[in-house]
Structure 1
Amino acid sequence: MIENAVVDGELVVVRARASAKRAACPACGTTSGRVHSRYVRRFADTAVAGRPVVIELQVRRFRCRDRACRQATFAEQVDGLTFRHGRRSTGLQTVLQQVAVMLAGRADSRLANALAVRASWSTLLRLIRRMPEPEVHTPRVLGVDEFARRKAQLRHDTGGHRHAPSHRSTARPGHGDGGRLARRPPRRRGDLP
């Protein structure tokens, strides 16, 4: 629940508090309504009208009801706004990850500064490293590229597009490769790098 928003010089400060009656323990999943304490959490959000935004969110620490749980108390998280140990909102984190992936270097920190967000290039590279690995697909079609006749480059299809390979793009000796595969000595398992 937003209590107020104040423009403080070049900064917009939004004061809010979490309003859920219960929260789930991140360790065991048990919901609890027993409040242990309250504190104010400050984190950055996406800019408004070219001004940086800071959210001061009053959150509660709850006691876990499960006595066997390794975590006696836990702080509540607001879905779509906060995440554990985060100094930015979920929306700002997503924007910075996309900028980092697109530019990956010093240019991304300059763009972040233009978006009124303070982030160094090393911070943005750290965001890339924390992202989950993309899913890798095994190629369905593997053949010699008929357009690179001098280099014998390989081309592959990960399954995103369906196309029938021409007789020149199949990896058979003497078909569209100028005889290079036929002249190449066979490789054994121990020969691979």
Structure 2
Amino acid sequence: MFNGIGNVDVAAVTAAFGTVDVVARSRAAGAACPDCGRFSDRVHDSYQRRLKDLPLGEQSVVIRLTVRRFICGAADCPRRTFAEPFAQLTTPHARFTTRLNHALERLGLALAGRAGARLAAQLGLGAGRMTMLRSGLFRCAVRWQMSQ
């Protein structure tokens, strides 16, 4: 079901009221600091992210991902704490998974605005018109930048 997220353990899956909730956490013992690259397994804190994913059948899917914050042990590193990355699953601060984001980008590029939002609602993706515009414009900008 979740292709390409081998570093994530699924703890529980529940289905109720048209929504599938997936509770997940990382399998990794630690992570590398994004600034200095030093590996750390000292957990500072954890928090939960709520990510929308592609629908399963006619049910929406929400991934409740527990993210740990680690302490960087390097004395000369300017970063004191950092969150573990989930590069295959999502990007930092995103509310959608990478799979859902790619689908929305394609819809936004093809239809944009209200038409894209209507089709997204029919497909069970549930994105508003401004999300469709942003997704389509982002994809256009990336394509234009690659052609230059």
Q: TM-score range by the shorter chain?
A: 0.7 to 0.9
Secondary structure of the residue aligned to 1:55 is strand
User: Where do residues 91-106 of structure 1 align in structure 2 (5 Å cutoff)?
Assistant: 91-106=99-114
CA RMSD of aligned residues (A): 1.7
2:13 corresponding residue in structure 1: 5
Alpha-carbon distance change, 67 to 130 in structure 1, aligned in 2, over 3 angstroms: farther
Q: Which amino acid aligns with 2:119?
A: L
TM-score normalised by length of structure 2: 0.83
Taking CA–CA contacts closer than 8 Å with sequence separation of 6 or more, which of the two structures ends up with the larger relative contact order? Answer: 2
Secondary structure of the residue aligned to 1:38 is strand
Report % sequence identity. 39
Q: Which structure dedicates a bigger proportion of its chain to helix?
A: 2
1:35 corresponding residue in structure 2: 43
Q: State which structure, 1 or 2, has the greater radius of gyration over its C-alpha atoms.
A: 1
2:5 corresponding residue in structure 1: none
- Is the 1:80–1:91 contact (alpha carbons within 8 Å) kept by the matching residues of 2? no
1:136 corresponding residue in structure 2: 147
TM-score normalised by length of structure 1: 0.65
- Is the 2:24–2:63 contact (alpha carbons within 8 Å) kept by the matching residues of 1? yes
How many residue pairs end up in the alignment? 137
2:69 corresponding residue in structure 1: 61
Secondary structure of the residue aligned to 1:118 is coil
The CA distance in 2 between the partners of 1:98 and 1:29, in whole Å, is: 34
Question: Runs of at least 4 residues of structure 1 off by over 4 A?
Answer: none
Q: Is residue 2:59 matched to residue 1:46?
A: no
Secondary structure of the residue aligned to 1:122 is helix
Q: Which runs of 5+ in 2 are unaligned?
A: 1-8
